[in-house]
Chain A
């Protein structure tokens, strides 16, 4: 099982850029963008809004019921198991490039999210998770009084 705790958003990991470059090189030479061999699976993209954040990740071949999302404070975890490939004695394999097995990835979010206001969708193999910043966590504007 692949376990990743590195965050794509934190600056505390000095090797993040190097690893990303390595992934890029691997992708260049393999011609595919298979990410199963890389240390961080699945790769995630982040989008920032006003007081919310969206994470997307590609999990082709999984169903909604195969994905488990958990959030605690600023840590979002994605866990999933790919269905076993068809197996039979009379099957002759020619190519096996698709990712399989079980994965777990934990991602550190830039702020605490409200666990009651998370919207997760799974469409055409892409998981989209929209998270809101809780009211009490938002920066507050402080009025300055003039004399």
Chain B
């Protein structure tokens, strides 16, 4: 992950080795997570990913963010110098609250994924009255 390989080489290597290796090469996107009212907002940087190539799954409490980057080497150009590398993004979170799946909002703009995860009504704290015997 830390080796300095030109972006093109990285792709060739991953393409030849199937899905498993491709995942191993994935980057961890930087995220901002904050909570407001009853909603958790997650913003993840995935530059270079087209909106259709973003994949968000929520299974039980495991939230997986995935972004696939298409090779964007300009045609007829060769790499001259490389300070950053290009690759897919994967990040997995475990959510502590039950989420209302029907009300999840996801938006992708300028390479940033914004997810709004509202807490479901059942998990909001309920007061339990204790009866005296």
Enumerate chain A interface residues (CB-CB to B < 8 A): 8-9, 20, 24-25, 27-28, 31-35, 40, 42-50, 53-54, 56-63, 85-86, 88, 90-99, 110, 122, 124-126, 128, 130
Given A20-B4, A62-B110, A90-B37: A9 touches B80 (CB 8 Å cut-off): yes
Given A92-B34, A93-B34, A97-B30: A58 touches B49 (CB 8 Å cut-off): no
Taking a contact as CB atoms under 8 Å apart, the answer to whether B74 and A130 are in contact is yes
B115 within 8 A of A: no
- CB-CB under 8 A from B32, the residues of chain A are 85, 93, 95-98
B103 within 8 A of A: no
- CB-CB under 8 A from B74, the residues of chain A are 47, 49, 54, 128, 130
Taking a contact as CB atoms under 8 Å apart, the answer to whether B77 and A49 are in contact is yes
Q: List 12 A-B contacts (CB under 8 A).
A: A32-B28, A43-B83, A45-B83, A58-B111, A59-B111, A60-B45, A61-B110, A93-B32, A98-B32, A98-B45, A99-B45, A124-B110
- Nearest B-chain residue to A40, judged by Cβ: B83
Q: Known pairs A8-B81, A54-B74; list 20 more (Cβ under 8 Å).
A: A8-B83, A25-B2, A28-B2, A32-B29, A33-B84, A33-B85, A45-B7, A45-B83, A49-B76, A54-B77, A57-B84, A58-B48, A58-B84, A58-B111, A59-B47, A60-B110, A92-B36, A94-B34, A98-B32, A124-B47
Taking a contact as CB atoms under 8 Å apart, the answer to whether B31 and A61 are in contact is no
Say how far A2's CB is from chain B's closest CB, in angstroms.
Answer: 14
B43 within 8 A of A: yes
The complex places the Cα of A61 from the Cα of B31 at a distance, in Å, of 12
Given A9-B81, A126-B47: A61 touches B28 (CB 8 Å cut-off): no
Say how far B11's CB is from chain A's closest CB, in angstroms.
Answer: 13
- Nearest B-chain residue to A53, judged by Cβ: B80
Question: How many interface residues does chain B have, given as a range?
Answer: 35 or more
Taking a contact as CB atoms under 8 Å apart, the answer to whether A45 and B1 are in contact is no
Task: List the 10 closest A-B pairs by CB distance, nearest first.
Answer: A125-B111, A125-B47, A28-B2, A43-B83, A60-B111, A58-B47, A47-B77, A43-B84, A60-B45, A97-B30
Taking a contact as CB atoms under 8 Å apart, the answer to whether B77 and A94 are in contact is no
Q: Which of B51-108 contact A (CB under 8 A)?
A: 51, 72-74, 76-85
The complex places the Cα of A50 from the Cα of B75 at a distance, in Å, of 11
The complex places the Cα of A32 from the Cα of B30 at a distance, in Å, of 7
